[in-house]
Amino acid sequence: NSWLTLRTHLFCFVWQIAMIILFGVFIRYDEESDTHWVETKAHDNITSDIENDFYFRYPSFQDVHVMIFVGFGFLMTFLKRYSFGAVGFNFLIASFGLQWALLMQGWFHSLDPQTGKIFIGVESLINADFCVAGCLIAYGAVLGKVSPVQLLVMTLFGVTLFAVEEYIILNLLHARDAGGSMVIHTFGGYYGLAISRVLYRPNLHQSKRMQGSVYHSDTFAMIGTLFLWMFWPSFNSAITDHGDGQHRAVINTYLCLASTVLTTVAISSLSQKTGKLDMVHIQNSTLAGGVALGTAAEFMISPYGALIVGFFCGIISTMGYIFISPFLEKTLKIQDTCGIHNLHAMPGVIGGIVGAITAAAASESVYGKQGLINTFDFTGDFKDRTVLTQGGYQAAGMCVSIVFGVVGGAIVGSILKLPIWGDPADENCFDDEVYWEVREPTFHTSRTITPKSPMISSQLPDEEEEHQESIPPILEYNNHMIHKQQDL
Amino acid sequence: NSWLTLRTHLFCFVWQIAMIILFGVFIRYDEESDTHWVETKAHDNITSDIENDFYFRYPSFQDVHVMIFVGFGFLMTFLKRYSFGAVGFNFLIASFGLQWALLMQGWFHSLDPQTGKIFIGVESLINADFCVAGCLIAYGAVLGKVSPVQLLVMTLFGVTLFAVEEYIILNLLHARDAGGSMVIHTFGGYYGLAISRVLYRPNLHQSKRMQGSVYHSDTFAMIGTLFLWMFWPSFNSAITDHGDGQHRAVINTYLCLASTVLTTVAISSLSQKTGKLDMVHIQNSTLAGGVALGTAAEFMISPYGALIVGFFCGIISTMGYIFISPFLEKTLKIQDTCGIHNLHAMPGVIGGIVGAITAAAASESVYGKQGLINTFDFTGDFKDRTVLTQGGYQAAGMCVSIVFGVVGGAIVGSILKLPIWGDPADENCFDDEVYWEVREPTFHTSRTITPKSPMISSQLPDEEEEHQESIPPILEYNNHMIHKQQDL
Amino acid sequence: NSWLTLRTHLFCFVWQIAMIILFGVFIRYDEESDTHWVETKAHDNITSDIENDFYFRYPSFQDVHVMIFVGFGFLMTFLKRYSFGAVGFNFLIASFGLQWALLMQGWFHSLDPQTGKIFIGVESLINADFCVAGCLIAYGAVLGKVSPVQLLVMTLFGVTLFAVEEYIILNLLHARDAGGSMVIHTFGGYYGLAISRVLYRPNLHQSKRMQGSVYHSDTFAMIGTLFLWMFWPSFNSAITDHGDGQHRAVINTYLCLASTVLTTVAISSLSQKTGKLDMVHIQNSTLAGGVALGTAAEFMISPYGALIVGFFCGIISTMGYIFISPFLEKTLKIQDTCGIHNLHAMPGVIGGIVGAITAAAASESVYGKQGLINTFDFTGDFKDRTVLTQGGYQAAGMCVSIVFGVVGGAIVGSILKLPIWGDPADENCFDDEVYWEVREPTFHTSRTITPKSPMISSQLPDEEEEHQESIPPILEYNNHMIHKQQDL
């Protein structure tokens, strides 16, 4: 009935129809997923179906898929009353984003010049999930403070920017970044932080009662943490070279993450006078090692090298939650709901630097002649590139991702600041009741729960009816008292 | 002590012993899981162990396994006080059903005429899980209204009917249905709906206080939703052809499901005057695309075709929750707890129709000569079948699954209506305390919680004792007041 | 500020630094994860990257990884207020333990005599996860009663003992134990029980209010149960022989576990006068079949043999919870929080016995000549061993694991009994607030929550502040009353 409401549907419908048309024009099965594969096999002298790329990458793809939907979704359920928004909007924007990512990445990376088509296979699906990850990271910074339409817009632009910076970093600069320290985490982190800066809410304290976690919401968030942590080796190895490339990336990430857990616990305990552990740190900083090995995981960083990276990332990320987040909020006016600066942006930068150094330090004695060529893809136009030059280009890639994140985020943030998107009022942030039918009474104030700008009806007649049946009288009574007292 | 109670154990014991005997007589390892594999390899000139079917299908099998136990189980935890029953009885009947499925499917599909044995491998395990899925779908319609013994009986007959209709559809009609739109979802859906119709409870409103969800039960249900959603590409590709067949089925399902999410959100938001989203829709309708692509996922439906199917399924399934479910309940007297009509039955029928049309429209120019033969298995007795004929047989298969579901469900429902199964009284439906030791006080009425027919003791002395220790006095006091007031 | 607190960090830091140094000295990539793989392939005439062991074992590895972190972690969340400790400390000690396991297992099993290095690949990661599993089992016995430092010490010694007993059983005795009935479950079970015996707390009833579960904590625990149950086939097949070995181990474990569920339900229902089911049994005893097939899963035990093992394990394990656990606590003074005796120790012993019998009964007619040699690895020094002798050595391995568990646990328990580790006071056991910042008020007594020995501050000023803002007045009032009344 209000045109705000209409907009959510409109966006979903219009974009989905646009996707269908664009897919119809551009997207086709690649030769390994097409029924002509039987001819390809004969032509290329492939003896077994197991050589299909599907069998090299599908298990890793599914792990990545779980990270995107369960990992990111549940990691953000920690707020006491924003679990629906966390897991539900994550679901929505990931589903939208991956379609747009297949198109954008296809146009930039794999548009066939002869047919004008994009041919997709399992690796395209992984890359689409990766691309979406950048936007979900950004969501972490604005969690609870934006409307679903804003999230869709943010994802539309985020995926677009991602495809461009990825093209520059991977294709033009020919940097390596299989696990996306730079391309995914640094970009996504700064993109989200810049948006959050532009959308700064000076009166966010008005929804302080909805901030923080409750016991079970913290337990739900651990589901997200653990699936991210366990499957991160798949994330960093999903698109690395067949054989030793995938194998090595898994070993490095596995070790790095284990090391991160220990230093995260140590710093978390040190940070409290009582020596107690803080769930915020355990839920987030334990993952920083995976982020920081995104670039170097496929290199010969060696097992103890992976442990060292994890060691410092656990420390730095946890310190970030303790010291840097309050600083960002107070001084730089960046309200970072999930602390993505400490989990993605900063570890991403570390990952870029580690990658540049490891690349620059690579040698034939360690990699072997062919191994060096394979690992850094020193072929074609790049066959004469030295490892030192490669290190320089890695560092340049790092800068590109930061610039795209900050500048892109600032621009998109300005668009999202227009008073037309139906974002929640300051006192209703972090509250699922603004965008979801919530069947259970909460102890919220009796103020009307509504988006800030174009009004939508806040009478909840169905709800009230239900309450009167399902709540025992004494509790109902208490509830009324609460409302009264707070109305005063 | 009552013979009802006895019956649950008896059923479990007797059936498990019967399984052991039947497995002893019939079931053996197939040649790929037998120690003689080393000889098979030499004989068939297989050069590597990686050619073992295990490596083609095990990752998909595990994804399907997660869908059956975590996916279906947690999807049904949405009710405020039936999480134990949802996830626990799902666990029980799936574990029973898969054993019986291995036998039934073995007898119909793979009984070796010479030895009289059934040889099983990883594909048999996937098919057993698929067969069980049909019964778990049916469970969704009667969730909270039946006893565990009724569920076991329902599963015993359900698996039996499944194996027969599957044999008719896949072997006799030679229809293709790798992801089971017809065989699994249409059959399972109508089977459950027919049973629910026969077991109609006119006074179900007496347990209205136990219906609906609470905040955390909705969050638990999202675990089920997401694992079903993420792993559905594995479901639809688990038993398709090696190579491009599995690869293509994954791509199609992945795209279709993404599209479904957007239209589900759009319709859900449209359906509320306030524009808010309803968790029921997000939890269920987002999955309809996977169901509807069960038949066509392995065909060359092309990426935009998959998006179109998802587009309409999201709309239709969500509309189903809004308009059709109330109609079914009021007019047709079908009480469908989880809305399986909207998630499985209707999308399953759509899937059957999409499959028939896609098959009839297949052409050598798109599939290639050999590709067409491989995809539709036009070999042996069926080598002269045309795609048009194939489309007709697909449609016929569709009808077979509906008939088996409706007629089978009606008969089994009549058996379950006999007053001997210990189902819960109308006022105790949707309440875990009927069949589970629940350690925590709920705000239920002080009426005795008991199955309807043969009585079981409802005194809970252990519980009460615990309460007095674990609950602080003031709350305890309130509790007593509640009971008193409600007793009046 | 107290030196206790200091110790937690110190332990984490010192151990992690030690790991880095030791990894630097000893651990290297193996030939399949090294960039020289391209040369290895050429040298060994390997035609495809898919022959890399990574593709045989990585999907199983990830399933095992999920079992270790989500499975064990969430299984232990059943206590009403120890979910953070369950899932968080599980996370910590597993991350620490797997690093130490790579070293210990490397030194004992795969130290290269020429280079003095340990070369690791995906199989090493699986073995490290397995080794850690032994310690996580032991954690189940002392859950809620020990400090994180004690857990770290317990894990350090546990991993060390594990590597030694594993070396004796698998290498010296040449017993087979791919799924670790003996090496993992029997050892881990008795190790934990012995520690719990030494740490016996006669006044544990003082924290009775914190024992037991609440509705949602039981639902969380089912996440752990199901992921363990579903992925157990991967656990038992992760390091078995390529091809038929992995295939067969999966089939056997799948069947055995299904059978266990039915008898667990039967006995659980029989055990209650009301015929109701107990979540404790469903959460735990359903898994006993997987434990008991750890040794025999790769043998030709045949499908009905697997069902029989599961049948009896469900009965015995559930009976254990009903009859043996109370006996252990009262008579033997073993307080076993999670009932690991019934889930791991006892089924592990059964598994050892089943393995010994199955091995002794193996024959060339069933296995084939080469199959028998492959399955029991009758090569090299052991090429003349008969199956009967093998059965004897299996039984001997069984005894070794028990002795290592009991004696090792007794010694480590004595170390942990020293009054320097900051374990919780009797009245604060099973309470997360001792070691975690908990943001939500609980109905605990107003007694100070602190570790027993070296004091840490128990004033929680930050918390209190937050409450006053986030809790509505009436509830706050009630809260105060509770505290007052309880203070009297």
What are the C-alpha distances in Å from B340 to residues B136, B217, B311, C388?
Answer: 10, 19, 19, 55
Residues in B touching C366 (Cβ below 8 Å): 35
Distance CA A216, CA C216 (A): 8
Put simply, the chain A residues between 277 and 296 with a CB less than 8 A from any chain C CB are 277-279, 282, 286
Q: What is the DSSP letter of C29?
A: E
The mean pLDDT of chain C is 89
Distance CA C255, CA B102 (A): 10
User: CB distance from C95 to chain B under 8 Å?
Assistant: no
Residues in A touching B212 (Cβ below 8 Å): 439, 466, 470
Name the pLDDT band for C63 (thresholds 50, 70, 90).
very high
Name the pLDDT band for C419 (thresholds 50, 70, 90).
confident
Residues contacting residue B13 through CB under 8 Å, at least 6 positions apart: C262, C263, C266
CB contact under 8 A, A247 and C52: yes
Of the two residues C346 and B461, the one the predictor is more confident about is C346
CB contact under 8 A, B34 and C244: yes
Write the ipTM.
Answer: 0.91
Q: What is the pLDDT of residue B474?
A: 35
pLDDT in tens, C285-313: 999 999 999 999 999 999 999 999 999 99
User: CB distance from C4 to chain A under 8 Å?
Assistant: yes
Residue listed under structure tokens 């919680």: B449
Per-residue burial over A244-253, b if 16 or more Cβ lie within 10 Å, else e, is bbbbbbbbbb
| H or E stretch covering C283 | helix C279-284
Choose among A16, A36, A470: nearest Cβ to B262: A16
Closest residue by Cα to residue A258 from C68, B247, B289: C68
At residue A302, does pLDDT exceed 50? yes
Q: Is the pTM of this model over 0.90?
A: yes
Q: What is the pLDDT of residue A157?
A: 97
Residue listed under structure tokens 């999903």: A238
Of the two residues B330 and C7, the one the predictor is more confident about is B330
Token digits of residue C357 = 């019998």
User: CB distance from B486 to chain A under 8 Å?
Assistant: yes
At residue A215, does pLDDT exceed 70? yes
Residues in B touching C485 (Cβ below 8 Å): 472-474
Distance CA B258, CA A80 (A): 28
Q: What is the pLDDT of residue A442?
A: 56
Based on its alpha-carbon atoms, the radius of gyration of chain C, rounded to whole angstroms, reads: 24
CB A341 within 8 A of CB A325: yes
At C374, the amino acid letter reads N
CB contact under 8 A, C303 and B54: no
pLDDT in tens, C64-76: 999 999 999 999 9
Choose among C244, C262, C375: nearest Cβ to B33: C244
Stretch A151-168: mean pLDDT = 97
pLDDT in tens, A194-212: 999 999 999 999 999 899 8
At residue C443, does pLDDT exceed 90? no
At residue A132, does pLDDT exceed 90? yes
A269-273, C282-286, C456-460: which has the minimum mean pLDDT?
Answer: C456-460
Name the pLDDT band for B442 (thresholds 50, 70, 90).
low
The DSSP-derived string for C159-178 is HHHHHHHHIIIIIIS----T
CB contact under 8 A, C51 and B48: yes
Residues in A touching C41 (Cβ below 8 Å): 243
pLDDT in tens, B469-482: 333 333 333 333 33
CB A91 within 8 A of CB A69: yes
Token digits of residue B12 = 């479990």
Choose among B13, B52, B458: nearest Cβ to C247: B52
Residues in C touching B83 (Cβ below 8 Å): 215-216, 218-219
At residue C83, does pLDDT exceed 90? yes
Q: What is the pLDDT of residue B441?
A: 57
Distance CA A354, CA A316 (A): 14
Put simply, the chain A residues between 60 and 89 with a CB less than 8 A from any chain B CB are 62, 65-66, 69-70, 73-74, 77, 81, 83-84, 87-88
- Compute φ and ψ for B27, nearest 5 degrees: -95, 130
User: CB distance from C368 to chain B under 8 Å?
Assistant: yes
Quote the distance between the C-alpha of residue C405 and its chain's center. Answer: 13
CB contact under 8 A, C29 and A485: no
pLDDT in tens, B248-286: 999 999 999 999 999 999 999 998 888 899 999 999 999
Q: What is the pLDDT of residue C442?
A: 56
Q: What is the pLDDT of residue C421?
A: 86
The mean pLDDT of chain B is 89
User: CB distance from B43 to chain C under 8 Å?
Assistant: no
Chain A's closest residue to B280, CA to CA, is A437
CB B93 within 8 A of CB B147: no
Closest residue by Cα to residue C292 from C310, C276, C277: C310
A300-314, A446-460, B69-83, C96-110: which has the minimum mean pLDDT?
Answer: A446-460
Residue C379 CB neighbour total at 10 angstroms: 10
Q: How many CB pairs under 8 A join B and C?
A: 239
Residues in C touching B216 (Cβ below 8 Å): 216
Chain A's closest residue to C42, CA to CA, is A370
Helix (H, G, I), strand (E, B) or coil at C236: helix
Q: Among C219, C231, C253, which would you mutate to test the B interface (most chain B Cβ atoms within 10 Å of its Cβ)?
A: C219
Q: What is the DSSP letter of C119?
A: E
A125-134, A276-285, B39-48, C449-458: which has the minimum mean pLDDT?
Answer: C449-458
CB contact under 8 A, B439 and C227: no
Q: What is the pLDDT of residue A441?
A: 57
In sign, the C-alpha dihedral spanning C278, C267, B82, A78 is: positive
Strands B118-120 and C27-29: unpaired
The mean pLDDT of chain A is 89
How wide is the angle at C-alpha A403 spanned by C-alphas A401 and A408, nearest 5°?
Answer: 100
pLDDT in tens, B397-429: 999 999 999 999 999 999 999 988 888 999 999
Q: What is the DSSP letter of C423?
A: P
Token digits of residue A278 = 């803080």
Stretch C173-199: mean pLDDT = 97
Choose among B226, B308, B374: nearest Cβ to A69: B226
At C407, the amino acid letter reads V
pLDDT in tens, C471-482: 333 333 333 333
In sign, the C-alpha dihedral spanning A59, A62, A66, A72 is: positive
Residue A468 CB neighbour total at 10 angstroms: 9
Residue listed under structure tokens 């496929």: A298
Chain A's closest residue to C450, CA to CA, is A274
Put simply, the chain C residues between 329 and 358 with a CB less than 8 A from any chain A CB are none
Distance CA B240, CA B246 (A): 5
How wide is the angle at C-alpha B355 spanned by C-alphas B100 and B403, nearest 5°?
Answer: 50
- What percentage of chain C has pLDDT greater than the value 90? 84
What are the C-alpha distances in Å from A164 to residues A105, A108, A168, A180, A398?
Answer: 8, 7, 6, 14, 14
Query: End-to-end alpha-carbon separation of chain B, Å?
Result: 33
Minimal Cα–Cα distance from A9 to chain C, Å?
35
CB C291 within 8 A of CB C343: yes
Quote the distance between the C-alpha of residue B477 and its chain's center. Answer: 44
Stretch C43-59: mean pLDDT = 94
Q: What is the pLDDT of residue B272?
A: 84
Q: What is the pLDDT of residue A9?
A: 85
Q: What is the DSSP letter of B294?
A: T
Q: What is the DSSP letter of A197?
A: H
Minimal Cα–Cα distance from C195 to chain B, Å?
29
- What percentage of chain A has pLDDT greater than the value 90? 84
At residue C486, does pLDDT exceed 70? no
Token digits of residue B482 = 């509640």
In sign, the C-alpha dihedral spanning A265, A270, A275, A277 is: negative
| H or E stretch covering C28 | strand C27-29
At C53, the amino acid letter reads D
CB contact under 8 A, B247 and A92: no
CB contact under 8 A, A261 and C69: no
CB B337 within 8 A of CB B278: no
Distance CA A87, CA B314 (A): 18
Chain A's closest residue to B244, CA to CA, is A33
Neighbors of chain A by Cβ distance (3+ pairs < 8 Å): B, C
CB contact under 8 A, A275 and C91: no
Chain C's closest residue to A373, CA to CA, is C35
Residues in A touching B478 (Cβ below 8 Å): 474-475
Name the pLDDT band for B70 (thresholds 50, 70, 90).
very high
Residues in B touching A20 (Cβ below 8 Å): 259, 304, 307-308, 311
Name the pLDDT band for C335 (thresholds 50, 70, 90).
very high
Minimal Cα–Cα distance from A10 to chain B, Å?
8
What are the C-alpha distances in Å from B288 to residues A87, B340, C219?
Answer: 19, 10, 26
